[in-house]
Amino acid sequence: MILGIAGNGVIVEEVLSFIDEIGFDEVRICGRKQSEDKLNTLAKKYNLGTVYTDFDEMLKSDIDVVYVGVLNDLHVEYSRRALEEKKHVICEKPITIKTSELDELDALAKKNGVMLFEAMSVYHMPAYKQLQKDVKLVGDLKLCMFNYSQRSRKYTAFHNGESTPAVFDPAHNGGALRDLNVYNISAMVGLFGEPKGVTYSANMERGVDTSGVLIADYGNFKCICVGSKETVAPGPTTIQGTDATICVYPHVNGMQEYDVIFNDDTTETKEVDYSDGNHRLYFEFVDFKRIIEENDQTACDAIMACSKAVARIIDEATS
């Protein structure tokens, strides 16, 4: 199986740091002509195959899977073009902003007999998979709070009125909701399903949400998702029930352990050993490769169902 990577930004370099452990027969990379020197440097550093400066040329080659790691507002275009060429697609989050576009891409993938995945790492992390089993320990759910607050390195320049980077640019679908809070929302959906309704209250700066709070109503319990690109917080995520509370450290996107604190003050700590050095994104690529190789459409559809639920939530939050 040959993987073609589109993009050469920070997230792509993270993927390249471990991709040789996944077992692809070959990995190739594509970027803009202006980035050719960087592409060649990455190819040499990570022992990549062919370097392309034309996305369509890469799509016409014998690659099997495309990883889309370009700017958010290009995700739909790149994914559509790859699916039209009958390539499996792994696309960085969010694949789309509009639910209708995600439905369109999913239908196109099925029509052409290929698979489409959103690279939402949290679903594939071993600690999260264990949390999905242990959440029943809290008893009847009452209150949950997810917090992912990570001050952007680019925030100061943005705050001072300098040129707007993509992560703070509405034209590039930037902002705290779609960049950070989406991890909280995805984790919430993977644990509890889709809520009955949501509201979103944000701190706005220069037309973009630099931080915000999403409240999800599940009827018998409520869930709060906090995301910030202008402040720092250690977490933790808390899941409160009638029998116990689960505390996740530091946040769901980087979780390696959590405590189950029972009402009698006893605590059970659940840890996942990452001593082998696996990158947090490693696990999703292992899962995607297996699903494609085994043609496991059921697993593919389950991941897509979560992606669509999250897209609907963000649609409602921003409407």
The average pLDDT across 261-282 equals 84
Q: State residue 137's pLDDT score.
A: 97
Q: Which CATH homologous superfamily contains domain 123-280?
A: Dihydrodipicolinate Reductase; domain 2 (3.30.360.10)
The average pLDDT across 37-41 equals 97
Element of type H or E holding 67: strand 65-68
- Delimiting residues of CATH 3.40.50.720 domain(s) in the chain: 2-116
Number of H helices, E strands in the chain: 11, 14
pLDDT level of residue 277 (50, 70, 90 thresholds)? low
Q: State residue 250's pLDDT score.
A: 80
Contact 182, 209 (CB under 8 A): no
Q: Is 247 helix (H, G, I), strand (E, B) or coil?
A: strand
Three-point CA angle 90, 91, 92, nearest 5°: 130
pLDDT level of residue 271 (50, 70, 90 thresholds)? confident
pLDDT level of residue 171 (50, 70, 90 thresholds)? confident
Please say if the pLDDT value at position 186 is more than 60.
yes
For 40, 94, 101, 121, the CA distances from 8, given in Å and listed in that order, are 11, 17, 25, 19
Please say if the pLDDT value at position 203 is more than 90.
yes
Which residues are within 8 A (CB) of 163 and not within 5 positions of it... i.e. 6 or more apart?
A: 157
Q: State residue 102's pLDDT score.
A: 95
The average pLDDT across 99-127 equals 95
Contact 48, 40 (CB under 8 A): no
- Delimiting residues of CATH 3.30.360.10 domain(s) in the chain: 123-280
Q: Which amino acid is at 63?
A: I
Determine how many CB atoms are found less than 10 A away from the CB of residue 206: 12
Q: State residue 319's pLDDT score.
A: 86
Three-point CA angle 95, 101, 106, nearest 5°: 75
Determine how many CB atoms are found less than 10 A away from the CB of residue 84: 13
Contact 280, 183 (CB under 8 A): no
Structure tokens at 93: 């989050």
What do you get for the CA distance between the two ends of the chain, in Å? 41
Q: Could you give phi then psi for residue 54, rounded to 5 degrees?
A: -135, 110
Q: Which CATH class is domain 2-116?
A: alpha beta
The average pLDDT across 95-107 equals 92
Question: What does the buried/exposed string (b/e) look like for 207-232 if buried means 16 or more CB atoms within 10 Å of the residue's CB?
Answer: ebbbbbbbebebeebebbbbbbbbee
- DSSP letters, 297-318, are HHHHHHHHHHHHHHHHHHHHHH
User: Of 43, 48, 42, 41, which Cα lies nearest the Cα of 63?
Assistant: 48
Q: What is the pLDDT of residues 14-38, one digit of tens each?
A: 999 999 999 999 999 999 999 999 9
- Helix/strand/coil (H/E/C) assignment for every residue in 262-290: ECCCCEEEEECCCCCCCCCCHHHHHHHHH
Please say if the pLDDT value at position 308 is more than 80.
yes
Q: State residue 280's pLDDT score.
A: 86
